[in-house]
A and B are shown apart, each in its own frame.
Chain A
Amino acid sequence: MITVKDLHKSFGNLEVLKGISAEVKESEVVCVIGPSGSGKSTFLRCINLLEDITSGEVTIDQDVINDPKTNINQVRSQVGMVFQHFNLFPHKTVLENITIGPIKVKGMKEEEAKEIALKLLEKVGLSDKADAYPESLSGGQKQRAAIARSLAMEPKVMLFDEPTSALDPELVGDVLEVMKDLAREGMTMVVVTHEMGFAREVGDRVLFMDEGIVMEEGDPQQIFENPQNPRTQEFLSKIL
């Protein structure tokens, strides 16, 4: 589904990604872990071209997304992205946040988009918040609304960039529940996270990143119980 080949990304002289290759299969949940500054978020942001790719290749389905001929808006509409700080549109209601994509990008009728949005809100447990503005929601509710906004575009892949890092501890659970539901339904997901419990329970595969490369990858059990790379061992011993 997603193939990344020798991905490099530099900001000026600073090389953040130093050759990453990875693959995500359909319906797979891949969790990316690693210390801060290791390039996890940059890696994720390269997958929907929120960052320009310096060199290498990212393919989603058959489209090489960093090929100038590829229509990037179309690619993005098939890749959902959930941000650490939610990034809901504060001047729009929760419902409008969700319907704007389908209406403006897919040209959907307002009524139809509304219907889809209400179903999604029910799914993430926010049916009663359709007409609320984001500022009146708690962090966990905001993030669930943001997930619904992404799902409205019916993406083939969902990218999560530390979706629970900005949340109060007691609000993390609800968001993780929604993500688990998605995983169970067979959504292809790439999740940058510090929630090792989630990675272990829901992840099909775990990538450990450090210093701009994938240091180790494997199934969660192997990574968490029997890490091979000394850096992985060190990292896990600090946080577990």
Chain B
Amino acid sequence: MLDALNSMFEALMDSAYIKSLPFLYEGLKLTLLITIVGLFLGFILGAFTGLGRLSKNGLIRGISTIFVEVVRGTPILVQVLFIYFGISEDLIGVNISGLTAAIIAITINAGAYIAEIVRGAVHSIDKGQYEAGRAVGLTERQTMRYIIWPQAFKRMIPPLGNQFIISLKDTSLFSVIAVGELLYQGRQYYNATFEVFETLVMVCIIYLMITIPTSVILRRIERKLDV
């Protein structure tokens, strides 16, 4: 009995399920790096663009709208090829690393979706809040900063968490430009070992280990915020 368990354990330790892990771990680090840096920059871009879409200035509103529509209307795979090959290599003639291209792609892509999140959240705040702020004597900027934004930001948290999950999964596309993220590392591994099934199972499990806890936490926050 003990011998049987022991040999099963040894077989497992010797299989691709376990042996691929150090490889995949390297990929996970890049996946998280791209997602987190990309989302951080994307939030800044999205905040400006989202507020731009609510601007009274027609030019700012127009530029913001075009940006959002173009990015949301094209596949992220096309976008990253555009950034990596189309613009940097072909048009400008500068080689950027795949990692840089990947971060730019997530920034721009998430930025456009976050712009809509920001716009929706700010728009959902009762107009009376703005009026009360102005009536107290606050400037437009102060009203935005102290009254509208804090309330809107709360409402942004659930959709931002959702965007985190989407962007995390989108990073798998960057294997096409040889960025060593999670899926790319998996492919490298099974190309060498031919243990395709086992490797992809582990790739999925690793994605799920991040996405499932994230959505559980999000649901809790949502319930707490009552939105």
Q: Do A and B bind each other?
A: yes
- Chain A interface residues (CB < 8 Å from chain B): 48, 50, 73-74, 76-77, 79-81, 83, 85, 87-91, 100-101, 104-105, 146, 149-150, 153
Known contacts A76-B136, A105-B137; can you find 5 more A-B pairs with CB under 8 A?
Answer: A50-B134, A76-B134, A81-B131, A87-B126, A89-B132
Known: A90-B151, A91-B150. Is A74-B132 also a contact (CB below 8 A)? Answer: no
Report the number of A-B residue pairs with Cβ-Cβ less than 8 Å: 58
Chain B residues with Cβ under 8 A from A74's Cβ? 137
A94 to B139, CA, bound (A): 21
B188 at the interface (CB under 8 A from A): no
B136 and A149 within 8 A (CB): yes
Task: Pick from B126, B129, B132, B139: contact of A73, CB below 8 A.
Answer: B139
Q: How far is the CA of A101 from the CA of B147 in the complex (A)?
A: 11
Q: What's the minimum C-beta distance from A144 to chain B, rounded to whole angstroms? A: 15
Q: If A73-B137, A76-B137, A101-B138 touch, does A83 touch B132 (CB 8 Å cutoff)? A: yes
Contact A87 B131 (CB under 8 A): yes
B135 to chain A: which residues have CB within 8 Å? Answer: 48, 50, 76, 79-81, 83, 150
Q: Are B131 and A83 in contact (CB under 8 A)?
A: yes
Q: Does B9 contact A (CB under 8 A)?
A: no
Looking at A74, A80, A89, A101, the one whose CB has the most chain B CB atoms below 10 A away is A89
Chain B residues whose C-beta falls within 8 Å of the C-beta of A48 in the assembled complex: 135
Task: List the B side residues contacting A105 at CB < 8 Å.
Answer: 136-138, 142
A89 vs B151: C-alpha distance in the bound complex, in angstroms?
9
Chain B residues whose CB sits within 8 angstroms of the CB of A100 once the complex forms: 136, 138, 146
Number of B residues whose C-beta is below 8 Å from A?
18
Task: List CB contacts (< 8 Å) of B118-174 with chain A.
Answer: 126, 128-129, 131-139, 142, 146-147, 150-151, 154
A85-B128, A87-B126, A100-B146 as given contacts; A77 in contact with B151, CB under 8 Å: no
Which A residues are CB-close (under 8 A) to B150?
91
Residue of A nearest to B125 (CB): A90
> In the complex, A104→B136 CA distance in Å?
10
CA distance A213 to B25 in the complex (A): 75
Residues of B within 8 A of A104 (CB): 138, 142, 146
Q: Which of A74, A101, A146 has the most CB of B within 10 A?
A: A101
Question: Within the assembled complex, what's the spacing in Å between the Cα atoms of A150 and B150?
Answer: 21
Shortest 3 CB-CB contacts between residues of A and residues of B: A77-B137, A87-B132, A81-B135
Contacting residues, chain B, for A88 (C-beta < 8 A): 132
Among B128, B138, B154, contact of A83 (Cβ-Cβ < 8 Å): B128
- Complex Cα distance A132/B18, Å? 55
Whose C-beta in chain B lies nearest to the C-beta of A78?
A: B137
The answer to whether A91 and B151 touch across the interface, beta carbons within 8 angstroms, is yes
Which chain A residue shows the least CB distance to B126?
Answer: A87
Contact A89:B137 (CB < 8 A) given known A83-B128, A83-B131: no
User: B139 contacts which chain A residues (CB < 8 A)?
Assistant: 73
- For residue B136, which residues in chain A have a CB less than 8 angstroms away from its CB? 76-77, 100-101, 105, 149-150, 153
Q: A77-B136, A105-B137, A153-B137 are in contact. Are A89 and B147 (CB under 8 A)?
A: yes
B81-138 CB contacts (< 8 Å) to partner A: 126, 128-129, 131-138
Residues of A near B134 (CB, < 8 A) are 50, 76
Taken together as a complex, chains A and B put the C-alpha atoms of A15 and B133 apart, in Å, by 27
A80 to chain B: which residues have CB within 8 Å?
135
B residues in contact with A149, CB < 8 Å: 136
Give the Cβ gap from B135 to chain A, nearest Cβ, in Å.
4
Q: For the complex, what is the distance from the CA of A215 to the CA of B133, rounded to whole Å?
A: 33
The distance in angstroms between the C-alpha atoms of A26 and B54, with both chains bound, is 40
B212 to chain A, nearest CB (A): 31
Q: How far is the CB of B126 from chain A (nearest CB, A)?
A: 7
A50/B128 contact (C-beta < 8 A), A101-B136, A101-B138, A153-B137 known = no
Provide 15 A-B residue pairs closer than 8 Å at the C-beta atoms, listed in order of the A residue: A50-B131, A73-B137, A73-B139, A76-B134, A76-B136, A77-B136, A77-B137, A79-B135, A83-B128, A83-B131, A87-B126, A100-B138, A104-B146, A146-B132, A153-B136
